[in-house]
């Protein structure tokens, strides 16, 4: 169903899964379209937020949030944005 914003649905599947290492979650992003998609992913919690820029080729999958500058914890929010598309909002389990 189209959102009230009139924007297209972002052609990305976003799911949380167990990180390959450690005890944390990872956010898996899959491009479901036939074109390259550029995303901004903002992770946030009560302590602050951080933006990550991700480019996904058609069909590509990328996991973020388990290694590097932000390790996802339960309750962290992920906002996935791309110009011209609806924003996807997910909360880490």
User: Residue 57 and residue 31: Cα distance in Å, rounded?
Assistant: 7
User: Residue 16 and residue 18: Cα distance in Å, rounded?
Assistant: 7
pLDDT (tens digit per residue) in 33-52: 999 999 999 999 999 999 99
Q: Across-strand partners of 41? A: 52, 80
pLDDT (tens digit per residue) in 2-33: 456 789 999 999 999 987 777 778 999 999 99
Nearest residue to 9 (alpha-carbon basis) of 32, 40, 41, 36: 32
Q: Which two structure tokens, joined as six digits, stand for 83?
A: 């110009």
Provide the whole-model pTM. 0.90
């Amino acid at each position: 169903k189209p959102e009230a914003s009139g924007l297209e649905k972002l052609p990305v599947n976003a799911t949380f899964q167990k990180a390959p290492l450690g005890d944390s979650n990872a956010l898996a992003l899959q491009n479901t379209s036939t074109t390259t998609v550029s995303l901004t992913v903002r992770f946030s919690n009560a302590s602050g937020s951080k933006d990550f820029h991700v480019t996904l080729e058609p069909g590509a999958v990328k996991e973020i949030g388990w290694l590097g500058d932000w390790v996802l914890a339960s309750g962290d929010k992920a906002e996935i944005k791309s110009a011209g598309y609806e924003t996807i909002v997910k909360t880490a389990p």
